[in-house]
Amino acid sequence: MTESVVVPRSFRLLEELEKGEKGIGDGTVSYGMDDPDDLMMKNWNGTIIGPMNTVHMNRIYCLHIYCSEEYPEKPPQIRFTSRINMACVNQSTGEVDSRHCPVLKQWDRSYTMETVLSEIRRDMASPTNRKLPQPPEGSMY
């Protein structure tokens, strides 16, 4: 029988911050603290570079990530600040609807902000979203 150790929220977020600051993966997603003085580490910024061979190619999308006190037990709240047309995004507010975003809908505490951003980027390339007409580049919510 193996016991799993539950890492406290603050340690987990510090680990994610360190990884985010060092640069992750292939550079197509990134994230960091919105306010370095936020001791509860609730507010984060994220960036997604649109996938190749889609209407999102060569676009940089900015997002706000909110990690409640229940993170990582519960998923973060994600809101695009850059306008985007995707099936899982509320077109009035930019909020990512967790009911229509598999990574948020089927949340697992082992997922990270990197996981969420990478999965949203992957969804941009899905048949549902890859050719949707987009708002003018640079427009914001």
Say how far apart CA 30 and CA 23 lie, in whole Å: 7
Quote the pLDDT of residue 3. 66
- Report whether the peptide linkage leading into residue 72 is cis, meaning its omega lies within 30 degrees of zero: yes
Q: Each residue of 91-108: pLDDT tens digit?
A: 999 999 999 999 999 999
Question: Mean pLDDT throughout 134-138?
Answer: 94
Q: Is residue 10 a contact partner of residue 67, using CB atoms and an 8 Å limit?
A: no
Task: Quickly count: other Cβ atoms within 10 Å of residue 54's Cβ.
Answer: 18
Residue ranges of domains in the chain, CATH in brackets: 9-124 (3.10.110.10)
* Beta-carbon contacts of residue 26 (< 8 Å; ≥ 6 apart): none
Structure tokens at 52: 């190749």
Please compute Rg for the chain using Cα positions: 15
Question: Model-level pTM?
Answer: 0.93
Quote the pLDDT of residue 70. 97
**CA-wise closest residue to 134 among 44, 60, 43, 37:** 60
Say how far apart CA 53 and CA 87 lie, in whole Å: 18
Q: Is residue 83 a contact partner of residue 99, using CB atoms and an 8 Å limit?
A: no
Does 30 have pLDDT greater than 80? yes
Q: Is residue 129 a contact partner of residue 51, using CB atoms and an 8 Å limit?
A: no
Q: Which of 3-12, 20-29, 109-118 has the highest mean pLDDT?
A: 109-118
Quote the pLDDT of residue 118. 96
